[in-house]
Chain A
Amino acid sequence: MYELLRNMGPLITEENPADNLSGMWATVITGLVVVFVILCLLIGFLYLLGLATKGIDKVVKARDDKKKTKNAAAPTPAVTAPAAAAPVVMEADEDENDEEIIAVIAAAIAAYSAEDGKQYVIKKIKRKADKTRSDWGSAGVFENTRPF
């Protein structure tokens, strides 16, 4: 098979398209088909990658939860739970469990709490399910994504 393909000869040897009408059409069809096939393969791969990552994240999360419950059961010296004015613990929704976002929100609240002297603890982070954005909101997002 390899030899057969190898010996098929050059693809298009003519210089002038008028001398090779079928070569012209073949190029268009081959080009479009190959580009679509390769990008479709990438689509398939990205879906698989998404699924695999979700699976891995679930396993990692389950392991972390297990560790946490184990640690909670064991008597440990309390390292401090800052008395909270408006209490709580990190608990993000499954699909919003992005450590970077949590870190950013925590940092913003820490900066805010430094100003008013109170201590806050994040209990839950939930995305607000609004479909539309106010003009101020749009302006803010636009400003932040302008580099793109």
Chain B
Amino acid sequence: MEIFDVFINTIKSIIMDSGFLNIHWDQALMLVISFLLMYLAIVKKYEPLLLLPIAFGMMLTNIPGAQMFHPDFFTGADAVANGVDYGQVLHEGGLLDILYLGVKLQIFPPLIFLGIGCMTDFGPLIANPKSLLLGAAAQAGIFLTFLGACMLSFTGIEQVSFTFKEAASIGIIGGADGPTAIFLTSALAPDRMGSIAVAAYSYMALVPIIQPPIMKALTTRKERSVVMGQLRTVSKREKIIFPIAVTVIVAFIIPDATPLVGMLMLGNLFRESGVVDRLVKTAQNELMNIITIMLGTVVGATATAENFLTVKTLLIVALGLIAFCMGTASGVLLGKLMYKLTGGKVNPLIGSAGVSAVPMAARVSQMVGSKENPSNFLLMHAMGPNVAGVIGSAVAAGVLLNIFGA
């Protein structure tokens, strides 16, 4: 009889602790959102490498009773007042809490940049330095969206008002660079990490849909048909000096941008030096994949129901779209200016590639250009502004960190 009682009580306890009895409607809604994101990643193939772990992390964190992630360790009242108690995280935290340290301490995004550096050929940028201007122009979207997010605070309605730090984190979505957005948000607005990361990666996947209408609206058929001259050959010497010099120049002026720019350029130096093939292979494959799994899952885990299901999330999604559109438009407009100034030698379509999103944005320039003139090949010309955009958004993040991070 005693065995039977223990059995019944155990079953009762399991049922009482189960997610079915403890789930709240907001957690259920978050689970549905995570399923939707998984669908987008698997079926629609929207940035699946990151969206899939993000969606799964989102699901894990919203399973009632699982206690996979404890946001209070990092953004609770105690943590805000006295700083994060890392001892508590290590002693009481679980897998996702400990992995979150990689985001909180800004370790993962720079390591992703190391891999990106290994995969990036800066040759088109070195061959045509003017494309850096297009990369800079596309960053206007970051600051204009920051302005828009700040303006909302003038309404006086708390639910739609953002702080300076939140506005800066929202603006960086316009940089179209996921690791940079996570890097800045983890420092300035960790509460908004989930929504900003989801918005940033979703829009990066939607670049081929978002950009072409803007590019066509701002350019004439004649401008889109411009065939650009062949790029000069870049010597190996230049490719080796470039990452060293960029790191020194950027880091001396904006030290806050050093983790991102420094690791990006270290990866690129690995690649161009040609003497550390093993390191290049590791950084761009295994290391990058491991970090991507950890980063994606833990960023998704920050999207708890109480943080995510707010009006602010909807606003972040809307402002993120505006940031993308403005970045694209400002890049194309500067491209048009360069078209005029060079007497028609620059195709303005390459300006839209200034929003990072490597190499998707460059492919879109190629795609739109080849529709006007099938023998036109803009891809390598667009890669210049594209990789310049990566440097530009890292610098912009450094500037925002410098202003608001202290």
Complex contact A42–B391 (CB within 8 A) = yes
A16 near B: Cβ within 8 Å? yes
Complex contact B147–A28 (CB within 8 A) = yes
Chain B residues positioned under 8 Å from A25 (CB to CB): 147
Complex contact B140–A32 (CB within 8 A) = yes
Q: How far is the CB of A102 from chain B (nearest CB, A)?
A: 11
Chain A residues positioned under 8 Å from B162 (CB to CB): 17
Q: Which residue of A lies closest to B127 (CB)?
A: A50
Complex contact B399–A39 (CB within 8 A) = no
Chain A residues positioned under 8 Å from B362 (CB to CB): 148
Complex contact A145–B139 (CB within 8 A) = no
Chain B residues positioned under 8 Å from A40 (CB to CB): 132-133, 136
**B108-122: contact bitstring with A at CB < 8 Å (1 yes, 0 no)?**
000000000000010
A4 CA to B388 CA, complexed, in Å = 34
A32 CA to B250 CA, complexed, in Å = 15
Whether A34 touches B237, Cβ cut-off 8 Å, given contacts A39-B133, A138-B374, is no
Complex contact B380–A45 (CB within 8 A) = no
Chain B residues positioned under 8 Å from A12 (CB to CB): 164, 403-404
Complex contact B375–A133 (CB within 8 A) = yes
Complex contact B375–A46 (CB within 8 A) = no
Whether A14 touches B377, Cβ cut-off 8 Å, given contacts A38-B395, A45-B249, is no
Complex contact B392–A57 (CB within 8 A) = no
Chain B residues positioned under 8 Å from A34 (CB to CB): 253-254, 395, 399
Complex contact B143–A15 (CB within 8 A) = no
Interface residues of A in 93-148 (CB under 8 A from B): 95-96, 98, 101, 127, 131-135, 137-138, 141-142, 145, 148
A84 near B: Cβ within 8 Å? no
Q: Which residue of B lies closest to A54 (CB)?
A: B235
Q: How far is the CB of A3 from chain B (nearest CB, A)?
A: 18
B199 near A: Cβ within 8 Å? no
A30 near B: Cβ within 8 Å? yes
Q: Which residue of B230, B237, B359, B402 is within 8 Å of A148 (Cβ)?
A: B359
B150 near A: Cβ within 8 Å? yes
Whether A14 touches B164, Cβ cut-off 8 Å, given contacts A32-B143, A49-B238, A141-B377, is yes
Chain B residues positioned under 8 Å from A42 (CB to CB): 129, 132, 246, 249-250, 391
A87 near B: Cβ within 8 Å? no
Chain A residues positioned under 8 Å from B232 (CB to CB): 95
18 A-B pairs in the complex with CB atoms less than 8 angstroms apart: A16-B161, A17-B154, A17-B167, A18-B154, A28-B144, A28-B146, A28-B147, A31-B396, A35-B139, A35-B399, A46-B126, A46-B129, A49-B238, A53-B235, A53-B238, A142-B377, A148-B363, A148-B383
Instruction: Knowing that A15-B165, A46-B125 touch, tell me 10 more A-B residue pairs with CB under 8 angstroms.
Output: A15-B163, A20-B164, A31-B396, A32-B143, A39-B132, A40-B136, A47-B129, A53-B238, A133-B377, A148-B362
- What 7 A-B pairs come out closest when comparing CB atoms? A17-B150, A46-B129, A39-B136, A39-B132, A43-B129, A18-B153, A28-B143
List the interface of chain B (C-beta within 8 A of A). 121, 125-126, 129-130, 132-133, 135-136, 139-140, 142-144, 146-147, 150-151, 153-154, 156, 161-165, 167-168, 227, 230, 232-233, 235, 237-238, 241-242, 245-246, 249-250, 253-254, 359, 362-363, 370, 374-375, 377, 379-380, 383, 388, 391-392, 395-396, 399-400, 402-404, 406
